[in-house]
Amino acid sequence: MSLRIFANMRLSREEKKFISLTRAAELKSRISDYQLNKASIKTGFDMQDIINSNREKLLTLFNATEENWQDWRWQLANRINTPETLAKLLDLDSEQSATIRKVGLQYRWSISPYFASLMDPNAVNDPVMRQAVPSLEELDESGYDDPMAEEFTSPAPCITRRYPDRLIINVTNLCAMYCRHCQRRRNIGDVDRHQPDQSLLAALDYIRRNNEIRDVLITGGDALLLDDKKIDWLLTELDNIKHVEIKRFGTRTIVTLPQRITPELCAVLKKHPPVFINTQFNHPRKITPESKKACDMLVDAGVILGNQAVLLKGINNNPDIMKKLNHELLKIRVRPYYIFHAKPVKGTCHFITPIGEGIEIIKKLRGFTSGLAVPTYIINAPNGYGKIPIMPEYIVSHDSNSIVLRNWEGREIVISICPPQKAHCNQTKEVHLTDA
């Protein structure tokens, strides 16, 4: 149906209803393919039988109790980092174990027992497993150790600065799980270590001396793997810097170690508003009752939650998967914020997708679902020059009097703008709609 302007036409109530019903049917057809596919895209809630079975295996393997399982420090201490241990959960053959061992000599890996329980041992190319278990593809030498040139955007210890009014404090190299697509795998090393106090003090001093810094992102590694006292101290120091307006954390603990979100941690965060946390769910399978509980606790503590997904080949480079992910995130009160194009980090290039796939995902989100479920697709410029948003082409042409736009359906819309002498009028003068 081609839309037309009916405002000046005298239509009966029945004619208006017919037009409305025809349009509603057209809109319904726009989403019919997703309606057919979404049931096949499983969340962690849907996979509870497999997750619980894995959990029982792991508890037996580690001779552990339910109390142990709920203790984030136990989870950290018992991260899976040998092929022999992983084989007991996933039934790996000797060739798979040899591959993991070979890759592990070059790139460190560890998986929290909780995250390991989310894997489906019987699924081919399981999206959870692909993000956690080393593969032979990582030995491809393509890419760069530091594509964002963080070592050249560090004016003080622990600091990364790429923008005028905000910066990063890198506080640790420790993670509950070392993701196979990690952008900072060069920093992982062989030993877990937090930044020493003297380096953190130097970073804080840099922030004090630069009063244009209003936004500080605390990350790593995983920033929430500092203990509660250190987090409280760091937030207090930032609160005492008058020009710092907001504090942010980058963390995957909500995804890989939700047990870390404790009442004690939430009490600390609640003391220091405003606190924003961006996490990284890359697939609906990671949204579980445990991660929902963690999000509920953080929201109740006044924390604002966002998600920064990474577009990963063979995992989520599919419009329906991304839509389901974003819908499920909103249900647990996490706002989809960014979709990052994967960076060309050495050993991770097998995850990189064509840029056109990311654009197509945004095209299948914008207009097809609520704006709350539409993140911004981002490519990070090399050498530390920042984030660049990538969007479908919505502007067809424009001049001083009108603009031609392409809407989410592909229709070209001509909008005449009020002339300059009538600047008080900001309404569209006339609209003509045609099918593209």
User: Which DSSP state fits 274?
Assistant: S
Cβ atoms within 10 Å of 403's Cβ, excluding its own: 16
Residue 73 — φ and ψ, nearest 5°? -70, -35
> Among all chains, which residue has been given the structure tokens 């997708």?
353
- pLDDT at residue 423 in the model: 45
The mean pLDDT of 143-169, rounded to a whole number, is: 93
Confidence of residue 421 (pLDDT cuts 50, 70, 90): low
- Domain borders along the chain are 1-30, 48-125, 150-389, 395-434
Query: Contact at 8 Å (CB) between 276 and 298?
Result: no
Residue type at position 124: V
Three-state SS for 415? strand
Residue 348 to residue 356: CA distance in whole angstroms:
19
- Between CA 405 and CA 398 the distance in angstroms is 9
Q: At CA 71, angle to CA 68 and CA 75, rounded to 5?
A: 80
Type of residue numbered 73: R
Per DSSP, the residues of 250-263 read: E--HHHH-GGG--H
SS3 (DSSP) at 170: strand
Q: CB–CB of 317/357 below 8 Å? A: yes
Would you say residue 92 has pLDDT above 70?
A: yes
Task: List, for residues 268-312, the tens digit of each pLDDT value.
Answer: 999 999 999 999 999 999 999 999 999 999 999 999 999 999 999
Q: List phi, psi (to 5°) of 94.
A: -65, -35
Range of weakest confidence among 54-63, 84-93, 222-231: 84-93
Q: Write out the two tokens for 357.
A: 């796939």
Q: What is the mean pLDDT of residues 155-177?
A: 96
What are the helix and strand counts (H, E) for the chain?
A: 16, 13
Q: What is the pLDDT of residue 141?
A: 87
197: tokens are: 């106090």
Q: Which of the residue ranges 39-53, 74-88, 122-136, 416-430 would you say has the lowest mean pLDDT?
A: 416-430
Determine the pLDDT at residue 428.
Answer: 45
**Residue tagged 């939430």 (tokens):** 266
Instruction: Identify the pLDDT of residue 433.
Output: 45
| Paired tokens of 268 | 């600390």
Q: Would you say 254 and 279 are in contact if contact means Cβ atoms under 8 Å apart?
A: yes
The reported pLDDT for the residue numbered 321 is 98
Tell me: the pLDDT tens digits for 320-357? 999 999 999 999 999 999 999 999 999 999 999 999 99
pTM (predicted TM-score) = 0.92
At 432 the three-state DSSP class reads strand
DSSP string, 135-152: -GGGG---SBS-TT-GGG
Helix (H) or strand (E) holding 214: none
CB-CB contact of 202 with 156 (8 Å): yes
pLDDT at 149: 84
**pLDDT value at position 432?**
44
Q: Two tokens at 22?
A: 């025809």
One-letter amino acid for residue 388 of the chain: I
Average pLDDT over residues 137-155: 90
Q: Are 404 and 397 in contact (CB under 8 A)?
A: yes
User: Measured between alpha carbons, how far is 293 from 296 in angstroms, rounded to an integer?
Assistant: 5
Is the sign of the CA dihedral 35, 37, 42, 43 positive or negative? Answer: negative
Q: Which CATH class is domain 150-389?
A: alpha beta
Cα 310 from Cα 375, distance rounded (Å) = 11
Across-strand partners of 417? none
pLDDT of residue 383: 86
Query: In this prediction, what percent of the chain has a pLDDT beyond 90?
Result: 84
> Helices 83-90 and 94-104, interaxial angle, to 10°?
140
Do 277 and 248 meet the contact criterion of CB atoms below 8 Å apart? Answer: yes
Question: In this predicted structure, what is the pLDDT of residue 231?
Answer: 98
Task: List the single range of 129-133, 139-143, 369-373 with lowest mean pLDDT.
Answer: 139-143
Average pLDDT along the chain: 92
Contact (CB, 8 A) for 382 and 148: yes
CA dist 208 and 63 (Å) reads 49
